[in-house]
Amino acid sequence: LQGDLLLGQAVPERVGGGDTGRAGGRGGGGQRAGVRTGPTDWGPGRPFPVQTPQPPSPDEARGPARHQAPVGGRPGEQRRSHVPANNLLLSPLKAANETLSASFPLVCVCVCVQVLWAEQQYEKSRSKRASLGECRDCPADKLFDDPMWNQQWYLQDTRTSSSLPKLDLHVIPVWQKGITGKGVVITVLDDGLEWNHTDIYSNYDPAASYDFNDNDPDPFPRYDSTNENKHGTRCAGEIAMQADNNKCGVGVAYNSKVGGIRMLDGIVTDAIEASSIGFNANHVDIYSASWGPNDDGKTVEGPGRLAQKAFEYGIQKASLGSFFLIKSANKPNSGVGRGGKGSIFVWASGNGGRQGDNCDCDGYTDSIYTISISSASQQGLSPWYAEKCSSTLATAYSSGDYTDQRITSADLHNECTQTHTGTSASAPLAAGIFALALEQNPDLTWRDLQHIVVWTSEFDPLSSNPGWKRNGAGLMVNSRFGFGLLNAKALVDLADPATWKHVPEKKLCIVRDDSFQPRELKAAGEISIEIPTKACEGQGNAIKSLEHVQVEASIEYTRRGDLHITLTSPSGTTTVLLAERERDTSANGFKNWDFMSVHTWGEDPAGTWTLKITDTVSHTSDRQVETQTQTHTQTKTSFPLSQSGRMENKGRILSWKLILHGTSEKPEHMKKARVYIPYNAVQNDRRGVEHMDDMIETPPPPKAKAQQPPRSFQPEKETQTSSSAPSSPSVALLRLLQAAFNRQSPALQGPPPARASPTWRKQPPKLGGLAGGLAPQSLVQALDLVNKYGGPEDSVYSDYADGFYRTKPYRHRDDRLLQALFQMIGDEE
């Protein structure tokens, strides 16, 4: 060895032979992304990033000891390096005739004083956030000649049923102003892009495209018999399908430029993610990602070291002395994302709802740098696949129940589709809307855009869902939907450069207790930590108006999925940072995990915060035993007391840190209160939907009673009791039942149930005897029906976040609940 030459690892053959670690070619035969074999899964082509303190001099750079190794290269291959000079990426070394044992994964890395950091790259499992289903044909008036324009119900108010809420992301008024995404560049990080599709080609941008699976500039997807790699093309089509070309449909930003990053069709490593996230950051404005760690209800994973640096590179004024690869199609890497204004990262919140997953365990959606987007169905409900978390910022439409329409887009082989689904479909719609805002005001910073999204998103079209609360700044927020449904017109109007004032400089205030000692937590136990803070008052980083709040915590626990964590602000806003996850049996706990919330946006952080960590197993078991007694059934419990270890949980919280992000003064647009107006201002017979604002939750200690939106009815106060009044959970069910009377939903079996008479709607409901004399007991039986109709593969999901159905675990809410309630009504009548 000469000097401090850095070596990569020698790569052994796998047990059994075969090069299964390398992604296959586009003709087929490649390994699917999403199969993880773990950190010890060494294989050919695995990159080995290394950081040195300073770039070598030009003379040293010409020397053999400091030569940059080719990226992901193999013997005999010469590939262009895009690694900054002081960040060498060494490729694996393996002689053609070399045979090594699989138990000998690493030959050597000659570490000297010039090496600061090195890390073996391993395969990551990444899931595309799509779903299933077919679509109905829904006629509507023509605005464009594109054959599927009529099926794009989410871009126009084309309700096919009088029971549906208004369906509109309000993009048409923006288009009518001539704002269609011109001059804005979006790239889709996914499994490739069929850029020669006739509905995409005119808007394709090669400078926003790259193939990190095959390491070439062409992101074209690999075809196979199952069309597995259609995901990226569908997402890109939602954004930039050409308008009025008699092909497929119309993109939200149909004059924007779109590119594709092929990175999911093969082995996904931290280096590949970082290269994709940081690709050509001076050229690309918006990165749209509809993937993430497995939505299986048991995974806890976030960006690796390199990917995190890539986010920071796109957002902050960071130097290129970082750890990751940056590729630029046209020019050397200089500057930062969008010329210093910050890249826009749009992320799908996840499809793990049926598995009881929680996107607070997804470090991509839980990042302060990403705009996490959830989904709402055509009926204005949280879909069965949607996850709940405190980091979701806003919502766009997508698929719902099997009877609901889905999302229209381009598809592989120059085809079209009406069946794009899941949060995968919501994130590109949001990216397109943000492109409209950036055309209106190219000077918006990444934080400007987040503020505008928070301030203009609408809760009213989603108000029939439980969980809404008004935070201390007067903003409506929900763990299912963030601050509500995106409103393109309101968003673009607020972004008007003639009136918009940039938000003040971002401040960071960290609160910790250096004297904190680890505290024990046992089964059915709770740890409560009070955190008084002046929010760095009197310092240069003082915060008066909050943006993101993070709790960085390290927790040891025997069963991670039994933990439930909440954070209550000085204004009384309680946020669920972590809901329990039935499938998460891991004993790994959390190590320096950042739990992030946007629910206290705009609040003054000064005062006492309360962090609570609870073991939920005993509470869950008690609820189920109580429910069995009430209903006189032999329902099998999902958390048997006899299960090994379930009631013997123990662990401790090792450390915590409260991280406050915000500004020293209130942003200009927040100096006046947020005014919520009814999304559907005109109530008409065709629609026949009533507001459900009584389900709004307000902070426990209101300093001043916030003005509530107008209500269509006033139920009796829940504090009044009578012998016939149901319990609090039944009250919530009865309210949902009232919403059901105003909807059209087919029964699960048999003839359709009798509809409620029109006179019923005109009378305020009586909680003691609502719904045609239905006893509260019947409502619990209706829940049993939901459980019965769900298969055994469905996960039981106890919703602690908003206390809905507190007396019984229930399957993740979808239309089956309303269908079961309708059947109960039909049986009674």
CA distance 104 to 102: 5
> DSSP E strands: which ranges in 619-720?
650-663
CA distance 375 to 401: 12
Q: Is 778 a catalytic residue?
A: no
Ramachandran quadrant class, 133 (left: phi over 0; alpha: psi -120 to 50; beta: rest): left
Element (H, E) at 61: helix 58-62
What does residue 802 show for φ and ψ, rounded to 5 degrees? -125, 5
Q: Is 424 a catalytic residue?
A: yes
CA distance 237 to 254: 9
Distances (CA, A) of 584 to 357, 358, 361, 469, 482: 9, 11, 11, 28, 24
Q: Give the tokens for residue 386.
A: 């949607």
Sign of CA dihedral 188, 374, 394, 397: positive
Nearest to residue 236, comparing CAs of 211, 212, 253, 213?
A: 253
For 108-230, where are the alpha helices, taking DSSP H only?
172-175
DSSP state of 244: S
Q: Give the tokens for residue 638.
A: 């999902």
CA distance 217 to 130: 26
Q: Give the tokens for residue 549.
A: 């709040």
- CB contact at 8 A, 575 and 550: no
CA distance 128 to 424: 7
Nearest to residue 241, comparing CAs of 294, 201, 193?
A: 201
Burial class (CB in 10 A: 0-12, 13-18, 19+), 609: buried
What does residue 650 show for φ and ψ, rounded to 5 degrees? -160, 155
SS3 220: coil
Q: Give the tokens for residue 130.
A: 């799509």
CA distance 800 to 814: 17
SS3 560: helix
Q: Give the tokens for residue 551.
A: 């709790």
Distances (CA, A) of 302 to 223, 713, 748, 749: 30, 44, 40, 43
Ramachandran quadrant class, 28 (left: phi over 0; alpha: psi -120 to 50; beta: rest): left
Q: Give the tokens for residue 532.
A: 């008084």
- CB contact at 8 A, 389 and 360: yes
Contacts of 18 (CB under 8 A, 6+ apart): none
> Facing residues of 477 across strands?
469
Nearest to residue 500, comparing CAs of 268, 670, 283, 731?
A: 670
Nearest to residue 758, comparing CAs of 685, 678, 682, 681?
A: 685
Q: Is 276 a catalytic residue?
A: no
- CB contact at 8 A, 470 and 499: no
SS3 368: coil
Match 């074209």 to its residue by tokens.
Answer: 220
Q: Which of 209, 382, 390, 424 is catalytic?
A: 424
Q: Which of 91, 146, 214, 231 is catalytic?
A: 231
DSSP state of 750: S
- CB contact at 8 A, 210 and 219: yes
Residue at 194: amino acid letter: E
Q: Which of 168, 190, 285, 366 is catalytic?
A: 190
760: number of Cβ within 10 Å: 14
Residues classed as catalytic: 190, 231, 424
